[in-house]
Amino acid sequence: MPANRTTVAAIGALALAGALLAVAPAQADSSPAGSAKAKAPKSAPKGDGSKEICKRLPKTKARVDAAVTRLGGDATVNGSVARLEQRVANAKSAGHTEIYTYLNDRLTARKALLPTLQKRQGDLKGVSTWCAAQDTK
């Protein structure tokens, strides 16, 4: 029974795939040391990074403040909780069940983010006080 071209092509493709899979592990081990130990882990941190935190503090505070302001904005502010609540209500009234579910899940996450950012604002006030008392020159 002669093999047709489709069968021969399928067998050829399988043989090629098998050959490539057999070669892949050998190529993956082409590093000079040839083992997973070749990439040594970086050393543990020596300090707490306070100098860098104090250096970035103004930008960090500005970003957190902007996020809290945006989330607390009214329905005309892109990214606000109120705007997303309006979109959820619109999807529900339009009968778009899948869109309602998606937006409502986003709303839940966004509402949970606001207290976290407000807590971070308080933490940053303490960090700011600490940084001001240090000699960070």
> pLDDT per residue over 80-89, tens digit each?
999 999 999 9
Domain count, the chain: 1
Per the prediction, the chain carries an average pLDDT of 82
Tell me whether residue 57 is in a domain.
yes
Tell me whether residue 64 is in a domain.
yes
In this prediction, residue 48 carries a pLDDT of 87
Looking at residues 40-69, what average pLDDT do you find? 90
Tell me whether residue 111 is in a domain.
yes
Whole-prediction pTM: 0.62
In this prediction, residue 6 carries a pLDDT of 61
C-beta of residue 50 within 8 angstroms of C-beta of residue 134? yes
Closest alpha carbon to 84 in 65, 68, 63, 107: 107
Tell me whether residue 8 is in a domain.
no
In this prediction, residue 131 carries a pLDDT of 92
**Which token pair is 81?**
């909780």
For residue 130, pLDDT beyond 80: yes
Tell me whether residue 2 is in a domain.
no
Tell me whether residue 9 is in a domain.
no
For residue 19, pLDDT beyond 70: no
For residue 1, pLDDT beyond 50: no
Tell me whether residue 40 is in a domain.
no
CA distance 94 to 86: 12
For residue 47, pLDDT beyond 80: yes
Alpha carbon distance, N-terminus to C-terminus of the chain: 86
Residue 72 is part of which domain span? 50-133
Top-confidence range, 19-28, 33-42, 127-136: 127-136
